[in-house]
């Protein structure tokens, strides 16, 4: 039972790490501001869910797991909101979504 | 493993510092200083200094960034290029760096139990805290009781800094506008038209303030205390000001209340010291405050931490409002 939980936890942690990596890669390599932000927001939604669930499985039923749950709830509320606010202010300040590579310099 | 983390974090710190120096866009520099503080907080945490990490994260990464942005909104976004005296400053930096590197050769190894700092008063604090004060967090015991004079001094440094900033910034401009005009100016509106940040922010503000109070009153048992709590509560109210507009935040916590907090907190700390004298002890000796010396110590620490929290919160909010009330030059 313990080893099953361990394996599940490591699968979650590895998947979360993979999402962080993909998010970082996307934030560096994608062509313009909005696509890069999409990649970056992947890190703080999907990756944080997976990684925190993985750590919660390691922590077991304890106060630490509840604290991690609270952190997860906090991150799930603030991360997407920050992404939205960033994209919104970029749009309002006149950065048009598009494919032109010129956008990439305006970050 | 800890060494690996520490080396990773310190490398990132150096990279961030170089990036801060090299960038000419001040907005980018402000964001990078925020990242620098967060990395520093993580580094403090790796070194088991949770109290310092909490302070650095709340003040360095949180409120300082907001204050920098407030200052940036009043000035230009790009650094003025200065070429004169470059070689002189380069020389000063190189010489200082070499002296500092030379000084590290005499430094004891990290965590060396034989280091002078671990042989002086630290063992005494660790041994005597459970007996004399009876609280688990030795950092709070040292900060509040054993080194109460130092903390009183720190509090007055914050008090003086707040007064100084208010003197510098509260010129005739902006400060004396009646509330109606404030509401009309575009900066006073906050993010009122941005539904999602507003809804989420409203949801979070009570929890942020609640967490601040937890940090305040749980400081004797876990990491935390007045400095951290004051910064967290101030961050919650600054978030309110950003979402609802500065005028609204001033309506909730008016300037007179803020001034009262800055002065009252410092006076509360001093009053505890005077009360010690009045009850027959020394200045800032809490043992006489209750019939049992240990109870008295705990009560004294609780009250002075409250004083610290009130002053820090009031000072940070006053400085924030002082920046926000200025019109761009």
pLDDT tens, N- to C-terminus, chain B (329 residues): 888 888 999 999 999 999 998 888 999 999 999 999 999 999 999 888 888 999 999 988 989 998 898 888 888 878 777 777 788 988 999 999 999 999 988 888 877 888 887 888 888 888 888 888 888 888 888 888 888 899 999 999 999 999 998 888 876 554 444 444 444 444 545 565 678 888 888 899 999 999 999 999 888 888 888 899 999 999 999 999 988 888 888 888 898 999 999 999 999 999 998 988 888 888 888 888 888 888 888 888 889 999 999 999 999 999 998 888 877 76
Burial label, B41 (beta-carbon count in 10 A; 0-12, 13-18, 19+): buried
Total beta-carbon pairs less than 8 A apart between chain A and chain B? 17
Number of domains in chain A: 1
pLDDT of residue A106: 46
Which H/E stretch holds residue B15? helix B2-22
Cα→Cα distances B173→B49, B163, B169, B177, Å = 43, 18, 9, 8
Q: Which two tokens stand for residue B34?
A: 């925020």
Task: Look at A81 and B196 and tell me if their CB atoms are within 8 Å.
Answer: yes
Task: Look at B200 and A88 and tell me if their CB atoms are within 8 Å.
Answer: no
Interface of A with B (CB under 8 A): 74, 77-78, 81, 84-85, 88
Task: Look at A81 and B200 and tell me if their CB atoms are within 8 Å.
Answer: yes
Cα–Cα distance measured from residue A25 to residue B43, given in angstroms and rounded to the nearest whole number: 25
B215 touches B224 (CB < 8 A) = yes
B190 touches B246 (CB < 8 A) = yes
Cα–Cα distance measured from residue B143 to residue B202, given in angstroms and rounded to the nearest whole number: 34
pLDDT of residue B189: 55
Boundaries of domain holding A9: 2-106
Cα→Cα distances B240→A5, B60, B161, Å = 42, 19, 24
From the list B35, B50, B55, the residue with the least C-alpha distance to B221 is B50
Residue of chain A with shortest Cα separation from B25:
A107
Angle, helices B2-22 vs B26-46, to 10°: value is: 160
A20 touches A41 (CB < 8 A) = no
B141 touches B219 (CB < 8 A) = no
Best residue in B27, B200, B210, B221 to probe A by mutation, most A CBs within 10 Å? B200
* Residues 6+ positions from A75 with CB-CB distance below 8 Å: A44, A48, A52
Cα–Cα distance measured from residue A71 to residue B211, given in angstroms and rounded to the nearest whole number: 12
Residue of chain A with shortest Cα separation from B208:
A74
Cα→Cα distances B277→A89, B36, B148, B282, Å = 57, 44, 14, 5
Task: Kindly list the residues from chain A whose CB atom is less than 8 angstroms away from the CB atom of residue B196.
Answer: 81, 84-85
Which residues does chain A have with pLDDT short of 50?
Answer: 103-107
Task: Look at B196 and A77 and tell me if their CB atoms are within 8 Å.
Answer: no
| Smallest Cα distance from A81 to chain B, Å | 6
Cα–Cα distance measured from residue B188 to residue B251, given in angstroms and rounded to the nearest whole number: 12
Task: Look at B197 and A81 and tell me if their CB atoms are within 8 Å.
Answer: yes
pLDDT of residue B174: 47
Residue of chain B with shortest Cα separation from A81:
B197
pLDDT of residue A3: 87
C-alpha dihedral over A72, A74, A78, A79, to 10 degrees?
-10
Task: Look at A85 and B197 and tell me if their CB atoms are within 8 Å.
Answer: yes
ipTM of the complex: 0.79
What is this structure's pTM? 0.84
Cα→Cα distances B105→B94, B98, B99, B102, B109, Å = 17, 11, 10, 6, 10
From the list B30, B140, B105, the residue with the least C-alpha distance to B74 is B30
| Smallest Cα distance from B175 to chain A, Å | 28
B238 touches B273 (CB < 8 A) = no
Task: Look at A88 and B194 and tell me if their CB atoms are within 8 Å.
Answer: yes
| Smallest Cα distance from A3 to chain B, Å | 23
pLDDT of residue B192: 59
B42 touches B9 (CB < 8 A) = yes
């Amino acid at each position: 039972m313990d080893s099953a939980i361990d394996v599940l936890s490591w699968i979650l942690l590895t998947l979360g790490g993979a999402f962080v990596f993909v998010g970082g890669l996307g934030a560096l390599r994608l062509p313009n501001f909005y696509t890069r932000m999409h990649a970056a927001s992947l890190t703080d939604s999907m990756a944080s869910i997976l990684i925190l669930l993985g750590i919660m499985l390691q922590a077991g039923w304890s106060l630490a797991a509840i604290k991690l749950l609270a952190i997860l709830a906090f991150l799930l509320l603030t991360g997407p909101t920050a992404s939205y606010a960033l994209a919104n202010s970029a749009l309002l300040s006149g950065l048009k979504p598009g494919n032109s590579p010129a956008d990439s310099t305006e970050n | 493993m800890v060494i690996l983390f520490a080396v990773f974090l310190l490398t990132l710190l150096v990279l961030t510092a170089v990036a801060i120096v090299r960038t000419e866009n001040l907005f980018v520099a402000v964001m990078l200083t925020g990242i620098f503080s967060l990395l520093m907080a993580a580094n403090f945490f790796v070194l088991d200094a949770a109290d310092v990490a909490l302070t650095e994260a709340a003040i360095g990464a949180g409120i300082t960034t907001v204050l920098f942005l407030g200052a940036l909104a009043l000035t230009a976004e790009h650094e003025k290029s200065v070429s004169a005296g470059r070689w002189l400053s380069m020389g000063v930096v190189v010489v200082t760096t070499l002296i500092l590197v030379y000084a590290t050769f005499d430094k004891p190894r990290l965590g060396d139990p034989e280091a002078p700092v671990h042989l002086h008063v630290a063992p005494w604090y660790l041994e005597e805290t459970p007996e004399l004060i009876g609280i688990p967090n030795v950092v709070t015991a040292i900060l509040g009781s054993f080194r109460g004079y130092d903390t009183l001094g720190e509090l007055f440094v914050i008090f003086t800094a707040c007064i100084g900033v208010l003197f510098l910034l509260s010129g005739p401009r902006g400060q004396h506008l009646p509330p109606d005009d404030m509401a009309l100016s575009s900066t006073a509106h906050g993010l009122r038209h941005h539904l999602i940040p507003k809804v989420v922010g409203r949801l979070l503000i009570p929890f942020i303030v609640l967490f601040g109070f937890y940090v305040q009153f749980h400081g004797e048992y876990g990491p935390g205390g007045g400095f951290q709590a004051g910064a967290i509560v101030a961050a919650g109210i600054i978030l309110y000001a950003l979402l609802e507009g500065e005028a609204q935040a001033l309506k909730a916590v008016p300037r007179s209340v803020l001034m009262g907090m800055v002065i009252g907190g410092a006076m509360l700390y001093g009053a505890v010291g005077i009360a010690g004298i009045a009850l027959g002890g020394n200045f800032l000796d809490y043992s006489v405050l209750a019939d049992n010396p240990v109870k008295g110590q705990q009560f004294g620490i609780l009250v002075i931490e409250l004083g610290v929290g009130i002053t820090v919160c009031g000072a940070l909010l006053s400085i924030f409002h002082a920046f926000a009330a200025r019109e761009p030059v």
